[in-house]
A and B are shown apart, each in its own frame.
Chain A
């Protein structure tokens, strides 16, 4: 048993921490206010190797470890949840290739992502197929050496900016979930249409899009794994990416708590700092304890990803569930600690509260996490 990060992991974290405090934190409020994708931050991450964290060295990256990915996402999310998605979605798009890709596919598709030349996205959900992912309608029909894709994907994070898109589609609709296959689309050769969805509650700077595929051609060489193995792959990817959403939730909560903790030490009422009131102190103690508990679960799940543990599915779902529910409660409490100031956008905690909400919803709603956990307990 060892709760310590390795020196390499600490080095990655410290580099990111410094970069984030220096360059990302000052931009966070503006990114939210303008609902604008921070291309400058994507570039900053690319230049500093942050987008290479999800990839092992042999594919042009710097790590490939889930613990490192989570550390990176956590650090970025402390300042700006939108920016943390640049790394989180890169990892989400990378996992299908790393898990199911052939050596040739990994060597071909990963390096441009690892260098940050391109960003990736992952397209599973559809308007009529959210939690019930197997009910998807997007169709892929094989014609010789290529597939032709038709259909619509919904709520695709980064779908409008990605250069590389992993898409799940039915190759054999009769076979239901055993008829789903996974494909890697590259924008230059397999272009898709994207409509950005506007006016989101939070993570406003990261585009969420509806993607439309009209006779989009994909070479057979870009199918991941065998036909019919796509659904299994989609779930295997979510097992690996959920700790990252836990890390994002954790970072958002920590960012809000750091701010609120300083605030209650400074804010004076009744002639004393409000931190001197026991009612406030107990809120602080509960928040810090909840954050600490969530942190351990997130990194527990991340080490399970790296160890390819057999109980990964359950622990990853627990980490995502616990950390995101925690983040929602904690950010709400932090708004409370700031009182009226917490409610206005001159202070960052209301943004963090809005950003936290999505972590309870995406990559499997928390209801789905409970289904996953209960199933693994009761089987």
Chain B
């Protein structure tokens, strides 16, 4: 048993940290204030090879494992949560369906531009009437010879408008539940692909979120990932490792809040009550980090990790929310003012309890596993 990061992971963390602290962090306040895409940060991540962390070297990626992925997202989130969610979604649910389920031909075609960051990947599962109940999605994909015609609307799509391709889940079969769902790679520039409403959000404001509208979008059958009817499996597997990334985001936000709280207390008179809050924040964060690394470690060894990823996502994000709120409490009124990192962490952390499976859905996943 050795719960320290291996030297190669520690070195990788240091590399990411340098990019995150030097290039990403300085833009965080402004990206949040202006609801603007963090171009400098994403360019820096591209240049440092951080967009292909999980993609094998033969397809132009870094060929690293889930532990490196978690570490990467954590470091970015510590600097700027908006940047981290863009990289996270791209790396996991935006690329992994191709990596894990694509044919050799599909991998050769899409992984190199995803690894280099020439294309950003996005994931389109949720619909207005299909959130936690993902198997009830309505978007249709009608087969027409060697192509499919897609129609429908997806919602809450991260990196909307900036993504080069969308992994889209649509109904191909008569089955009205999971067995009728298939997965497709839909290029953003395909005719009929349109960005619908863009949302103004409470947090993660630098990461665009909105509707993806598909109107008679024609994609060749060669763009279907896995067999017809296998789409739901693709989505669930992608979300399992996606949850490792969300856990990393939560850890980064929480670590930032702990570090800033610590600096705040070091610089002022403090009571024991303040110190006890800080001790609790740091302790909960440490427990959360180990849960996330455990899920990542299992994933990196090809072992089952669904339950552990759900536990990590649940505990890390609930912890990040609690720590972010405690940070504001320690900072007092000053912590509530726009531009203060403390209030931003609260707004950023809240989304994490909701997306990639709300924490209620995580509890369902965990309970089902316990009772099976």
* A binding-site residues for B, Cβ under 8 Å: 1-6, 9, 67, 261, 265, 275, 278, 281-282, 284-286, 288-290, 292-294, 296-297, 299-300, 303, 315, 318, 321-322, 367, 369-371, 373-375, 377-378
Contacts and interface: CB of A to CB of B under 8 A. Distances in A.
A378 B291 contact: no
Contact of A378 (B265, B314, B362): B265
A265 B291 CA distance: 27
A38 to B, nearest CB: 30
6 contacts: A282-B367, A285-B314, A289-B366, A296-B290, A300-B3, A377-B262
B278 A378 contact: yes
Nearest to A9: B1
Contacts of B6: 1
A1 B360 contact: no
B227 interface: no
Contacts of A4: 1
Closest 6 CB pairs of A and B: A296-B290, A281-B367, A374-B275, A285-B363, A373-B279, A285-B366
Interface in B286-343: 286-288, 290-291, 293-294, 297-298, 308, 311, 314-315
B371 A275 contact: yes
Interface residue range, chain B? 35 or more
A307 to B, nearest CB: 8
Nearest to A304: B3
Nearest to B371: A275
A53 to B, nearest CB: 16
B327 to A, nearest CB: 14
Interface in B264-298: 265-266, 272, 275-276, 278-280, 282-284, 286-288, 290-291, 293-294, 297-298
Contacts of A265: 371
A261 B370 contact: yes
A3 B370 contact: no
Interface of B: 1-6, 9, 67, 262, 265-266, 272, 275-276, 278-280, 282-284, 286-288, 290-291, 293-294, 297-298, 308, 311, 314-315, 360, 362-368, 370-371
A371 B366 CA distance: 34
Nearest to A292: B311
Nearest to A367: B276
A39 B48 CA distance: 64
Contacts of A370: 275-276, 279-280
Nearest to A264: B371
A378 B371 contact: no
Contact of A6 (B1, B265, B266, B288): B1
Contacts of B294: 3, 292, 296
Contacts of B298: 3
B286 A371 contact: no
Indicate the member of B9, B67, B366 with the most A CB atoms within 10 Å.
Answer: B366
A374 B278 contact: yes
A142 to B, nearest CB: 39
A247 to B, nearest CB: 13
B315 A289 contact: yes
A311 to B, nearest CB: 10
Nearest to A314: B282
B5 A292 contact: no
B360 A296 contact: no
Contact of A293 (B3, B272, B288, B367): B288
Given A367-B276, A377-B278, A2 B283 contact: no
Given A315-B286, A377-B279, A377-B282, A5 B1 contact: yes
A285 B367 CA distance: 5
Contacts of B314: 285, 289
Contacts of B284: 322
B287 A303 contact: no
B275 A289 contact: no
Contacts of A300: 3, 286, 290
Contacts of A296: 3, 287, 290-291, 294
B2 A2 contact: yes
A296 B308 CA distance: 12
Given A5-B1, A289-B314, A373 B363 contact: no
B1 A299 contact: yes
A374 B2 CA distance: 25
Contact of A3 (B3, B272, B311, B364): B3
B311 A289 contact: yes
Indicate the member of A3, A261, A285 with the most B CB atoms within 10 Å.
Answer: A285
Contacts of A373: 278-279, 282-283
B262 A378 contact: yes
A293 B315 contact: yes
Contacts of A299: 1, 3
A130 B368 CA distance: 45
Indicate the member of B6, B67, B315 with the most A CB atoms within 10 Å.
Answer: B315
Contacts of A6: 1
A173 to B, nearest CB: 28
A288 B286 contact: no
Contacts of A5: 1
Nearest to A2: B2
Given A281-B367, A296-B291, 14 more contacts: A1-B293, A275-B371, A281-B363, A289-B291, A289-B311, A292-B315, A293-B290, A296-B290, A299-B3, A300-B290, A370-B279, A373-B283, A377-B278, A378-B266
Given A296-B291, A297-B287, A377-B278, A284 B297 contact: no
A322 B275 contact: no
Contact of A318 (B276, B283, B360): B283
Contact of A284 (B1, B4, B279, B370): B370
Nearest to B364: A281
A377 B276 CA distance: 11
Contact of B360 (A282, A322, A367, A375): A282
A171 to B, nearest CB: 32
A80 B2 CA distance: 29
Contacts of B283: 297, 318, 321-322, 373
Indicate the member of B67, B278, B363 with the most A CB atoms within 10 Å.
Answer: B363
A378 B275 contact: yes
Contacts of A293: 287-288, 290-291, 311, 315
Contacts of A275: 371
